[in-house]
Amino acid sequence: MATLIDHLIKLTDHRDRDLLELTLSKALIDLVPIQRVIVARVVSEEGIKRWLEVATLDAKGGGKVVDPLRVDFQKLPLLDDNRDRLRALQNRERIEIAWAGEDGPRITYFPLFAETLNDDEGALEIHSASPLTQEQLQTLAQVQHVFRNMYHLLAYSDRDALTGLLNRKSLDDTFYSAVLDELGEGPEPQSEALKAAVAPGQERRHRVPPNYWMGTISIDNFGLLNDKNGHLIAEEVLLLVARIMNNTFRTYDRLYRLGGEQFAVLMHCPDEALVLAAFERFRANIEKFNFPQVGRVTICAGFTRITPDDSPSTALEHAERAVDYAQHNGRNKVFSHAELVRKGFFGDALKIGAVDLF
């Protein structure tokens, strides 16, 4: 059986935050005599918060890992549906529920993070046949402490320093791990397989599920806004646009700043009409917001369905061409790349590198 040091090495060996919850669960199952581990994260949409159990692992085998991009939000339980878990989260304390006598089985809840950063909230749920001893609680606390440190370290490296949104490097990592449809392999083997299969600097292309979408967003006339109001005011506009993005899109949609006034969104959605509605909602929220010292600001957005032959660069290029079309046809608009192709406004041949994304 792996030792505490072995599991700490595995936790600190990761470069992908999406795998940390599963690694944490495996460590606790190995090191502490428990029956089940559940890692539950808080996700929100239009101000409503729900529980998403991203990782579940049983001591006797079995479990699941959920891709947050692919969940049906409306089917997730509300926070109040598990009040003990919610209490642990809100009070930042351990909650122990003995449901069959003082010495019998129990469920113990812990806040997943010591403090909330970048809207990261969650709870750790431990099922055990008897009360956890002080030594076992200490082991659990040590492993969780390393998990928290690694999570925040990776979160810092994945985020844009100004806005707190995810950065371009993170987009590549997500595209190659969360989005790719690998056959029958768990997250860790999948990640290692990807690393081994691709030489550094090469672009990777795999089969992908049909309902992933990439969108890009550009602030209209940002250069003029910067020249007129100055760099500090322009940065404030970027920060407010990022805040409106966070308040408009779903928690589990991946939001990025590509650089300058350009942003991106990676999402999983069943059809084009719903994706268009999401970007239109964001466009309208930006248009009606009163930006201090600037007033009215508008954006253009374009989006594309990710295909089996896409890399991050080709998907971004498709979306960016739709943005360019919007900017040359009145601004303050959202277009689907596929719809523009269907209408014959431009062909589907790409010229990678023709648009400066950075």
pLDDT for the residue 299: 97
Cα distances from 295 to residues 230, 233, 237, 241, 284, in angstroms, run: 14, 11, 10, 13, 14
pLDDT tens digits along 32-61: 999 999 999 998 887 789 999 999 999 988
Here the tokens at position 222 are 């940002």
Domain with CATH 3.30.450.40 in the chain: 4-158
What phi and psi, each to the nearest 5 degrees, are found at residue 195?
Answer: -65, -40
Orientation of helix 231-248 relative to helix 272-288, angle to 10°: 140
Report DSSP letters for 237-248, one per residue: HHHHHHHHHHHH
CB-side exposure of 19: number of CA atoms within 13 Å? 18
Average pLDDT over residues 217-234: 94
What is the token pair recorded at 125? 């749920």
The whole-number pLDDT of residue 358 equals 34
Residue 2 vs residue 228, higher pLDDT: 228
d(CA 18, CA 315) in angstroms, rounded, equals: 22
Q: Topology of domain 210-342, per CATH?
A: Alpha-Beta Plaits (3.30.70)
The answer to whether the beta carbons of residues 108 and 85 sit under 8 Å apart is no
pLDDT at 180: 55
pLDDT in tens, 269-278: 888 999 999 9
Instruction: Summarize pLDDT for 226-258 with one digit per residue, the tens.
Output: 999 999 999 999 999 999 999 899 888 999 999
DSSP state of 288: H
Query: Which amino acid belongs to residue 269?
Result: C
Residues 37 and 233: their CA atoms lie apart, in Å, by 47
Superfamily of domain 4-158: GAF domain (3.30.450.40)
The CATH 3.30.70.270 portion of the chain extends over 210-342
Sign, CA dihedral 117-16-122-248, equals positive
Instruction: State how far the alpha carbon of 112 is from the alpha carbons of 38, 197, 250, 308, in Å.
Output: 11, 34, 21, 36
Which residue is it, tokens 């113990």? Answer: 108
- Residue-wise pLDDT for 292-335, tens only, equals 989 999 999 999 998 878 889 999 999 999 999 999 999 999 99
pLDDT digits (tens, 9 = 90+) for 141-180: 999 999 888 888 887 888 898 998 999 888 887 777 656 5
Would you tell me how many other CB atoms lie within 10 Å of the CB of residue 200?
A: 5
Q: What is the CA radius of gyration of the chain?
A: 22
Tens digit of each residue's pLDDT (9 = 90 or more) over 60-81? 888 888 877 778 888 999 999 9
